[in-house]
Every structure is written in structure tokens, then in C-alpha cells.
Structure 1
Amino acid sequence: MTRLSHVSPPGIAPGNGYSHVVTATGRLVVISGQIALDEHGALVGGADPAAQARQVFENLQRCLAAAGAGFADVAKLTYFLTDVGFLPAVRVVRDEFLGAGPRPASSLVQVVALARPDLLIEVEALAVLPG
């Protein structure tokens, strides 16, 4: 079982769907930023941020599985959005994949652009597996 501990520090407002502090013991898994491309390199979702987010989280799920991990093993997610207005749609999809329970630590950055002009969302992950 993964050794993740989610800490709510006193004096810090609760996070909306994330933990402020996650400590872990084990083997680190680093997942590069995932974008809304399918296995053939075709864009999924067009200009729809929810559809792009779904593909991004499906890609993250595949990457985690390749390392023997799942979303329960994720200690940190970093979101890059070309428009912070996409956040509500991203949160809905995130919740579908992460389910109930403690949330990983998270950071969100609005960026001017991603690797391609048709990409709206990129998400990277850090997971921890038992040592």
C-alpha cells in the first residue's frame, strides 16, 4: 500500500479539491505533462475544455498504470491551463477520475500557450509507490 499522508496545516484555509501537504515514503513515479492527444497523436476534444481534460486524465491513467500506479498513488498534480476559466470543467473531470477521498497536492498555472495552439490543458503528476 502506498504511504501517503494528507496534512491539513492549522491556519491554512481548506483547499478546493486538493491537499496543501502530502508526505510520502516509497518509490517516486514522475509523469510528464499529458495533453489531449490520443494514441495516434490526434487532438481529442477540439475547443471543448471538458473533452480535452477527459483525454488528459485518460492519458494520465494509462501512464500511471504503466508504472504500476493509480490515481490513489498520486501525491501531486500540476495543471497548466490556457484559460483559468476552464477550471470548473477540469475539476468535474478530475473528480470522476480521482473519486472520493483525500486529494493530492496541486498547483495551477495559467499559461499563454502550450506546445500546440489547439491545446487547452496539460497536467503532470507525481506518484509514490511502496518502496
Structure 2
Amino acid sequence: MTSIPEPRKVASGASEILHHEGYDEAIRSPFVPAIRTVSNARLVFISGVTGAPVYHDHPHVASVIDAVPADIDGQVQILFDNLDHALRAAGAQRSDVVGLTRFFTNIDEDQDVVNRVQGEWFGGHIPTSTTVQITRLATDPRLRLEIQAVAAVPAD
């Protein structure tokens, strides 16, 4: 019978990483199966961000996207910059992120690049994550990725 690892506190102290039977430290993964928030956490829900400016007109103006790089490398760097802005506005940091929902328009072409950049951006912290491939993003068909996040911030 495999022993189940004890919960491990996430860097912020507002949540714990949970593993279950079958956990193997040797397996490299960009997500963990579960994170439990503790009672002193404030939850922050961050709308989906892309490589486009967070603040843009509705209806969308195609010329705004003209300045966004067409490649996933460029888009994902801007996306994580946008996520940093939202986290800072909420008084949160990267290690407070407990969940991501990632929407790709082409997983086969883009997922390895995004996983690498995401791993570097988090610097060892690993949130829960769900990845979905969709036909297109609502903002503009040239955008390749959108990420929605939830953070658990220690209460003041």
C-alpha cells in the first residue's frame, strides 16, 4: 500500500498542496492535483488574460491586436506580464496562485513553450491547472492563449 504524502504548505501560507496515492516526486508536471486553502485566505479571481492589452475596447478593435506578436513566445511573455499586474493589484504574488485554466487554440504547437515559460515564471511553485483546446479566443483570432487564474492570499 502506497502512503499518501502529508499536505505541504504553499509559499504564501494561505494554501496547502495535496497529493494522493500514486504520487511520484520524479515525475515532472506543470500542475498538482489539488490545493486546499486555509481559513485565513482571501480568494482572488482573475479574469482571463492574453497577449493583448488587458484594457481594450468592446466591441474589439482589430488594430489593437496588430501590435501583439503573432508567435506564442511573444504572446505568452505578455500574458504573464498581464497576470503579474493583476496579482499585484490584488496584493498577491505568483506563489499565491492556486489554480489556472488555460485555453489554447493549438495545444500541439504551443503547449511545450507555454509549460516552459510558465515553469520559469512560477519559479518552482506549481498550481492546479486545467488545459483546454478551443477553436478561437473571443478577443481576436490571432491570439493563441488565454489563462484565467485564482489566487489565495493570506488575510491581512
Please report the TM-score for the alignment, with normalisation by the length of structure 1. Answer: 0.89
Q: Name stretches of at least 5 consecutive residues in structure 2 with no aligned partner.
A: 1-11, 57-63
Q: Which residue of 1 aligns with 2:19?
A: 8
AA aligned opposite 2:152: V
1:89 to 104, 109, 113: 113
Deviations 1:2-61 (A, max 9, x none): 321111111367561111011112110000000111367543543201111111111001
Greater relative contact order, per chain length (Cα 8 Å cut-off, separation 6+): 1
RMSD of the TM alignment (CA)? 1.8
1:56-109 residue CA offsets vs partner (Å, 9 max, x unmatched)? 111001000000001100000110000012101101211221002x41000000
Q: Which one of the candidate residues 127, 138, 143 is aligned to 1:119?
A: 143
The match for 1:18 is 31
Aligned residues: 130
CA distance in 1, matches of 2:68, 2:131: 21
1:78–1:107 CA contact under 8 A, matched in 2:
yes
Q: Highest Rg: 1 or 2? A: 2
CA gap of 1:51–1:119, structure 2 versus 1, over 3 A, is same
User: Runs of 4 or more off by more than 6 Å in structure 1?
Assistant: none
Mapping of residues 26-65 of structure 1, within 5 Å: 26-38=41-53, 41=56, 42-43=64-65, 45-65=68-88
User: Relative to structure 1, is the Cα distance of residues 129 and 122 closer, same or farther in structure 2, using a 3 angstrom cutoff?
Assistant: same
Q: Unaligned stretches of 5+ in structure 1?
A: none
